[in-house]
Structure 1
Amino acid sequence: GEKSIAELARQHGVAESLIHNWRTQFLEAGRARLAGNKQDDGFRTLEKENERLKSLLGEKELALYIAKKVRGL
């Protein structure tokens, strides 16, 4: 409330319409959350993908460790 949208847009080098869009999205998400609509499906998907990638990384690290041990024998 202290600065206008135009001032903020100039200050940060973005279009006024972008700030208006962000504000609208923020308010809509807040209303949906207060109404009980959970938007964490994307978060859960990312968590599952993260776990899958950690598992894959562990497998690759184990394979690399075994290959190094075989080479050293």
Structure 2
Amino acid sequence: MSCVEEVQRIVVEFVKKRKNPPRVEISSIEHKDGVWIVRGTCPIDLEGHPWREIFTIEVDRKGKIKNMDFSLL
């Protein structure tokens, strides 16, 4: 498994545990200053209404989540 695939797996598992969405879509993965930056979206149910939530999650070289940002699209 490549580094990119491993980082993607870590982020998808993290978002699924935290938000419990039916799916997680990764839009980009970049490596900058020793940190992997992963951006994507996931559907959420907000008081009975479907919304899309965007996220940016930073993962360090050891596979630990260092920073995260979730916001409604």
Q: Classify the TM-score, shorter chain.
A: under 0.3
**What's the TM-score once normalised by structure 2's chain length?**
0.25
| Structure exhibiting the larger radius of gyration computed from Cα positions | 1
> Which structure has greater strand proportion?
2
